[in-house]
Amino acid sequence: MSYSSKPSTEPCVTTFDEFVQLADYSLMDTLNADPDATVDGDDHRARQVFSGHFVPVTPTPLAEPEYVTHSRTFFKELGLSDELALNEKFRQVFSGDISAAYEPMRQVGWATGYALSIYGTEYTQQCPFGTGNGYGDGRAISVFEGIINGQRWEMQLKGGGPTPYCRGADGRAVLRSSVREFLAQEYMQALGVPTSRSLTLYVSKSETVTRPWYSQDSHSIEPDILVDNPVAISTRVAPSFLRVGQLELFARRARSHAHPRALEELSMIVSYLIEREYKSDINQNLGFAEQLVELAKLFRQRLTSLVANWQRIGYCQGNFNSDNCAAGGFTLDYGPFGFCEIFDPWFQPWTGGGEHFSFFNQPIAAEANYHMFWKSVRPLLAEDTEALEDFDQVRRGFAEAMQKQVQQMWAAKLGLPEFDPKLFTKLMQLMNHSEADYTIFFRELSHIPDDVSALKKSFYIKTSHQLDEQWQSWLKSWRDLVINDGNLAEISTNMKQTNPKYAWREWLIVPAYQQAMQGNYTLVKELQEVLSYPYDEQSQEVEDKYYRLKPKAFSNVGGVSYYSCSS
């Protein structure tokens, strides 16, 4: 199977005025605003939000914003000219000054609430009010929704200042985490993994915030110093930012009869989810109950495929709670994420994540989130016993569907027509014992070598004669299966389109954001370019720099091998 991005379009939007004309605000026009909200969006202090689907809120502009970079790939796909990223009014809006907008754009954005559940357990205690009414977009503010090239997109500022959901924080994002999110979204898109997209990145030349982080070469588990960071705003884009946690919020309100319209608001948000994320896949002539059964099937398919893709490319979503699980089935929220270098099934980049969100546990975390989706939507089917049974049947089939996706993924990584459990189990043991680099190993295997020596560039340890013999035996068994399947050159080509050559390596990202903090964005743009072609053979210079094992100096270093929640 091959992974590639969508075709691009020639730029046709070259001015801010042309961009403004694309605005179309379905969320604010279709759903309910919080009745306690202000009309003008001046709503920046933490408070409880008791009802409504969104809160109108204005972002807080960056002081002296400076352009860092934009996604040329995505701009081209949207038909936006690159010059637009440097347009004064465009820069104003996407660095937080929404007063530059005019009709049909609006001078107010919106933030949404959601509930929190971790591994299928509902939580309220992290909410400052102890009720759960304070959870939501604390520093993410959507400022634009429109139809571009026939597709609806929502544009959201990350780090756009406080909202009612900010729980007392400053609502800002720092340049470090903004660079990481911007590059990660670009990289995931290039890998062919469904994801929110990067649009622009601006930094303030004068505004800073203080955050805990790690001192140079620190081996502390938690941050050990306070660092002044430049404030930045990255804009992420998706068909919607609806999350499983949002459905949960309205289901909880309906369950507790929080207000007279609670069940109606649940029905509205689920209908809206279908409209925004599944309209082209669900027959609109079906009855609502039948549409919900279709929704359950489609979301299951997308979510299981997504998580199998995460494992394919070594990605670990370190905090895969329901509020970080996009109901559209794509990767959302690049906070405590990481990519596996030395193969470890229990790899977890976030110090607060524990094993339950580790690399190989992600299918189980996905099922927990799917369970909360099922539990949230289920009350809407109470009157239709036949549809309810069909809906429950889809839920019962999750684990089997997930297993099937993962096994198909492993077969593709190994160039095999079908999954071989015995071969796979032995491979995992050998990779573990050899401390194999996840990306380099599978890329070298894609050349279909007949001798273990070809794989040794991916090993972090010197292997024993006995281990080499085990590898040689495994290679022979694997090659026999591959050769039986046909054309080796074709299989090798397909494997190289499944197993990327260039991986996200945190120790190569750190210098990029460190230099950016000094006003030098060269390395950010270099990484943007390299990570845009992860399956390709690139220049020898790029290979020497980016296709190599993690240096020992970075082992178990805070902020590189692991980190607290990204800020």
What residues act catalytically? 323
Q: At what angle do helices 465-484 and 488-496 cross, to 10 degrees?
A: 110
CB neighbour list of residue 70: distance below 8 Å, 6 or more residues apart:
82, 85, 198, 199, 200, 201
In 439-507, the DSSP E strands lie at: none
CB neighbour list of residue 313: distance below 8 Å, 6 or more residues apart:
191, 193, 339, 439, 500, 503
Q: Tell me how far apart the alpha carbons of residues 139 and 144 are, in angstroms, rounded to a whole number.
A: 16
Residue pair 234/146 in contact by the 8 Å Cβ criterion: no
Q: Tell me how far apart the alpha carbons of residues 508 and 341 are, in angstroms, rounded to a whole number.
A: 12
CB neighbour list of residue 428: distance below 8 Å, 6 or more residues apart:
345
* CA-closest candidate to residue 154, choices 246, 94, 265, 239: 239
Handedness of CA 505, 511, 512, 517 (dihedral sign): positive
Q: Tell me how far apart the alpha carbons of residues 135 and 323 are, in angstroms, rounded to a whole number.
A: 9
Residue with tokens 């991005």: 5
In 388-470, the DSSP E strands lie at: none
Q: Which residues are registered as beta bridge partners of 319?
A: none
SS3 assignment, position 155: strand
Residue pair 560/176 in contact by the 8 Å Cβ criterion: no
Dig out the tokens for 505 from the structure: 């390596």
DSSP 282-331: S-TTS-HHHHHHHHHHHHHHHHHHHHHHHHHHTEEETT--GGGSBTTSSB
Burial 173-206, CB ≥16 within 10 A → b, else e? bbbbbbbbbbbbbbbbbbbbbbbbbbbbbbbbee
Dig out the tokens for 240 from the structure: 């919607």
- Residue 202 identity (one-letter amino acid): Y
Burial class (CB in 10 A: 0-12, 13-18, 19+), 400: exposed
CB neighbour list of residue 46: distance below 8 Å, 6 or more residues apart:
128, 134, 162, 164, 165, 166, 167, 168
In the chain the first and final C-alpha atoms are separated, in Å, by: 36
CB atoms within 10 A of CB 353: 21
Residue pair 515/523 in contact by the 8 Å Cβ criterion: yes
Helix and strand counts by DSSP (H, E) for the chain: 18, 12
SS3 assignment, position 174: strand
Residue pair 482/488 in contact by the 8 Å Cβ criterion: yes
Residue pair 164/137 in contact by the 8 Å Cβ criterion: no
Q: Tell me how far apart the alpha carbons of residues 55 and 45 are, in angstroms, rounded to a whole number.
A: 12
